[in-house]
C-alpha cells in the first residue's frame, strides 16, 4: 500500500518577535512625550460648576490657568477666596496685570482659562477680569464640566 | 596534541527581556498619562475702556438687560423670569420675528448685557451665561442648517461659511458687576 505522506510546509510557524521591542518603544516614546507630569499643586479649593453649552480647547499649549477659590489652610479649613496663578497665591490683585502681560509676550495667542470654585463670589472674578483687560489677554475660558 | 573542547559562549546579549522592560515603562506612562481636555465656556473680553472716549450710544431696544442677584433671581428688561424661560426669551429678542418695536432691530445689532451683584456665587453666573450661550448656539445651528445643511459645530474652523454665520449672529455679550 502506498502511503501518502503529508507534505509539511517548509515555513517556520513562529512569528518573528525581534521587532517587538521597537514597536513597544515607539508606543513608549509617544506616551512619554504626551504625558504632562507637572501638575500644579492647588492651594485653593476648586469645585468646578457644570454647563451645557461648552467647547473644548484643542490647543493646550496656549492655555494658561488662573485658579480662584477659598484658600486651603492647615487642618482642612478653608479661608477667604484667593487667586492662584502657577504655584503661588497672588495676594495683590493689581499684580495680575503684569503677570499676565509677561505670559502674553511669551505666547501671543494666549487663552486664559479661569478655573473658579462654584461658590466663590462674582466680585472677585470681575476684579480679575478687569486686570486681564488691562493686560490685553482678551481670550478667556470659564472652565466648567459637562452637565450630565 | 591536546584539543580543548570547550563550548563557545555566544557573544550576543540576550535581548528577549528588552520587550518586558519596555512594556513595564509603557504601562507606567499609560497609567500616569491624563489626556484631559479642558472644557468650558469661551469668551472674548472687550478692550479696556478709555475714560476720555465716550462709549458709542446704544439704542435701548437693541440691548437686553439681564440682572441676576445673589439669590439667582433674574430680571430681563425689568421683568422677572425663571431661568428656564431665559433662552426662549433671548431667541425671541435676537431674532425678533414679528418686528416688535421693543426688541432688537436685527440679530447683528442685538447686545446682551449681563449684570450681576458682586455677591453672586459663580455657579449662578455660569448658569446664566450658559443660557445665553445656549440661545446663540440654537440660533447659529438653525441658520447653519438652513444655509448649509449642517450644524454650526460641523463647519470647518475659519471657513467662509462659519464666518458667515458668526457675522449673522455675533455674540455681543457685555458682562458687568452691579455698582452699589
Q: Are A15 and B12 in contact, with CB atoms under 8 Å apart?
A: no
Q: Are A139 and A104 in contact, with CB atoms under 8 Å apart?
A: no
Whether the pLDDT of residue B8 is over 80: the answer is no
pLDDT at B127: 87
User: A25 — contact with chain B (CB < 8 Å)?
Assistant: yes
Q: Are B178 and B117 in contact, with CB atoms under 8 Å apart?
A: yes
Q: Which residues of A touch B39 (CB under 8 A)?
A: 54-57, 143-146
Chain centroid to CA B1 = 89
Q: What is the mean pLDDT of residues A46-65?
A: 83
- B113 versus A60: the higher-pLDDT residue is B113
**Interatomic CA distance for residues A1 and B84, integer angstroms:** 92
* Range picked from A3-12, A27-36, B9-18 for highest mean pLDDT: A27-36
For residue B105, give the C-alpha cell: 432691530
Average predicted confidence (pLDDT) for chain A: 83
pLDDT digits (tens, 9 = 90+) for B130-144: 888 888 888 888 888
Domains in chain A, CATH or no CATH each: 50-146 (3.30.420.270)
pLDDT digits (tens, 9 = 90+) for B63-118: 888 888 888 888 888 888 888 888 888 888 888 888 777 787 888 888 888 888 88
**Interatomic CA distance for residues B47 and A137, integer angstroms:** 9
Q: What is the mean pLDDT of residues B13-28?
A: 79
User: A121 — contact with chain B (CB < 8 Å)?
Assistant: yes
Residue B72 CB partners (closer than 8 Å, separation 6+): B83, B120, B124, B127
**Interatomic CA distance for residues A69 and B174, integer angstroms:** 24
pLDDT at B120: 86
Whether the pLDDT of residue B180 is over 60: the answer is no
Cross-chain Cβ contact A32/B123 below 8 Å = no
* Reported ipTM: 0.72
Q: What is the mean pLDDT of residues A87-96?
A: 86
In chain B, the residue whose alpha carbon lies closest to the alpha carbon of A117 is B122
Q: Are A78 and A70 in contact, with CB atoms under 8 Å apart?
A: yes
**Interatomic CA distance for residues B126 and B83, integer angstroms:** 12
Mutate: best of A19, A44, A56, A142, partner B, most B CBs <10 A: A142
CA dist B4 → A16, B7, B10, B87, B145 (Å): 36, 9, 17, 95, 88
For residue A11, give the C-alpha cell: 515555513
Query: A90-99, A115-124, A135-144, B21-30 — which is least confidently predicted?
Result: B21-30
Query: A68-72, A87-91, B102-106, B160-164 — which is least confidently predicted?
Result: B102-106
Q: How confident is the model at residue A146 (pLDDT cuts 50, 70, 90)?
A: confident
Q: What angle do CA A52, A50, B123 make, to 5 degrees?
A: 115
Q: How confident is the model at residue A78 (pLDDT cuts 50, 70, 90)?
A: confident
| Strands B74-76 vs B79-81: parallel, antiparallel or unpaired | antiparallel
Amino acid at each position: 500500500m502506498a502511503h501518502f505522506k503529508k507534505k509539511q510546509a517548509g515555513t517556520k510557524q513562529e512569528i518573528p518577535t525581534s521587532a517587538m521591542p521597537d514597536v513597544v518603544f515607539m508606543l513608549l516614546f509617544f506616551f512619554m512625550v504626551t504625558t504632562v507630569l507637572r501638575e500644579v499643586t492647588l492651594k485653593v479649593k476648586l469645585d468646578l460648576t457644570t454647563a451645557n453649552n461648552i467647547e473644548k480647547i484643542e490647543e493646550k499649549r496656549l492655555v494658561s490657568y488662573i485658579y480662584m477659590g477659598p484658600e486651603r489652610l492647615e487642618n482642612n479649613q478653608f479661608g477667604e477666596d484667593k487667586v492662584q496663578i502657577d504655584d503661588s497665591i497672588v495676594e495683590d490683585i493689581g499684580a495680575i496685570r503684569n503677570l499676565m502681560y509677561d505670559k502674553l509676550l511669551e505666547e501671543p495667542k494666549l487663552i486664559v482659562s479661569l478655573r473658579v470654585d462654584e461658590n466663590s463670589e462674582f466680585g472677585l472674578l470681575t476684579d480679575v477680569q478687569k486686570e486681564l483687560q488691562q493686560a490685553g489677554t482678551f481670550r478667556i475660558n470659564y472652565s466648567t464640566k459637562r452637565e450630565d | 596534541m591536546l584539543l580543548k573542547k570547550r563550548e563557545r559562549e555566544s557573544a550576543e546579549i540576550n535581548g528577549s527581556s528588552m520587550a518586558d522592560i519596555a512594556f513595564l515603562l509603557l504601562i507606567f506612562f499609560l497609567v500616569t498619562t491624563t489626556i484631559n481636555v479642558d472644557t468650558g465656556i469661551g469668551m472674548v473680553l472687550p478692550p479696556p475702556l478709555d475714560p476720555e472716549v465716550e462709549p458709542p450710544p446704544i439704542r435701548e431696544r437693541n440691548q437686553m438687560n439681564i440682572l441676576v442677584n445673589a439669590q439667582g433671581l433674574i430680571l430681563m428688561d425689568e421683568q422677572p423670569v425663571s431661568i428656564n424661560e431665559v433662552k426662549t426669551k433671548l431667541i425671541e429678542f435676537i431674532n425678533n420675528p414679528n418686528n416688535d418695536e421693543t426688541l432688537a432691530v436685527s440679530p447683528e445689532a442685538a447686545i446682551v448685557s449681563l449684570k450681576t451683584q458682586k455677591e453672586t456665587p459663580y455657579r449662578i453666573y455660569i448658569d446664566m451665561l450658559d443660557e445665553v450661550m445656549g440661545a446663540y448656539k440654537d440660533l447659529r445651528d438653525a441658520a447653519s442648517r438652513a444655509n448649509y445643511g449642517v450644524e454650526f459645530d460641523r463647519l470647518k474652523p475659519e471657513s467662509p461659511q462659519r464666518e458667515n454665520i458668526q457675522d449673522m449672529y455675533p455674540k455681543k455679550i457685555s458682562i458687568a458687576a452691579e455698582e452699589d
